[in-house]
Structure 1
């Protein structure tokens, strides 16, 4: 299927309709409004031939009420593609319709606005970091630590030009060093890209999404289902504000989610134990979670039941020393049935018998 155009030997005249009207404005109007616009535009193109044509003439030629013609011009005026020129105050419907040039409107509303926008962006991003500012920035502990962490991520030292470009991001996007580190780590682990221009594009995209803090980035990545957002929350809970996870550490955290099927709440609960050790590390947390997994922990309530409530078994009683009987021990049963005077008499009788 296609569309073709044949020519005729007789010129009956043409009315040039701009494509902008057909592509943009015609689909948003009903058929009556389009007919009124096209016929009125034809009369405008004919010039003096139809100089005395009025809205009543349009209504008669289109076989529609005059109110429909007036409603059509109200609609096109609201779209700012025609202008009414009132010539008589007595008849509110007696006015001249001025058809505005749609191409010029497009240029004014789009091209010039785009030029102004580009100029504003150029002015807003015209800041460039100087060598002196770079030297001063290196004296700030947070900036210095940021450069060190980025060097670890990209496995090389940043060049002075790269450092200056990073410092320009602070001015252009109103961000802090931790977010720059996250951007480099995200590009390195997610895309395996270390180029500073690519990282700049990622930060610019985050800025367009109103992401200027670590907390906003975590929320965004979690909504997107990004595992990297999980890594970031765990490391923050462990107190690692600057350090980024290594490949081996990411595999350990993946095990907690994929193999153990622990929720982020259970993992963060295990991270609370970091305060009990002076040197928190991922292996320490892994030991806790592995123990919980062995004990069948599935939710937070299980931790309280099987881990935190430890039954204290009673202390074993010390064994009693066995009684050692000697010849000097008298049987209690033999002496308990005699009084003192009877016992004395008994001993005397026994002595007499021996004599």
Structure 2
């Protein structure tokens, strides 16, 4: 059970940002929206905190659904979830979204930019790629990238096309990709194509692992993605090694468990086991050591002496006792 502490002032109503409704709510799962709204309600009614059990009961969800929802909103930048301790308790703060969609408006004259034929053509192409009419916020943002990020018309179209090819056409996702490209200093078509190839190769490996684990949905949680990144990049393990760890997990637990697989691979990495042969040798060595230990224990494990072993039993004449009991020992 986790507890979440609020930083709030009591109100008799729950204000929901239009930015949240327009930008974040449409793409979020229904239960995630429910969790956000009830947490917002608790926040604005002056509650000092609430635990995940109460939330789960109120919304008819699992406690894990509550945690997943809050992690999702934290990653989206809608809330700030800060651990208080190692017991699963958090401070939670709701981010002010009022300026979220207006950051680029003050930087240029939108009407003037829309008269630019190049911008008009770009927006039409983006709408065609996304298969929908662009919102005013999207129009402002896409034009803003040309000035703020120094992205070219062609680079922006490539970015949109890349996102659409992954089935990600919501504005928030596209914006996050653009911010990431800017931070990685991707400014040319060649830079973008090299990055896309590298990313696709990486996710091709991830999808192969997920398929082996019986997971068809590639939209995994961030902690799971971090583990995949660690196995393939930090540990630099091949698919064969990772699948071997998955096999061991299935044999022992009869299910896929990321943390268990991570423990196996971390142990192999610590022991510098880099090939399947290394792992087989290690397993064989362990089995031999175990069998010798069992054999030695069976040799030395003699039956312990009981404290009655030194007791000397009495000798009885049972025929004589029987006669005495029956009274036959008396001569008339």
Query: TM-score scaled by structure 1?
Result: 0.27
Greater Rg by CA: 1
TM, length-normalised to structure 2: 0.28
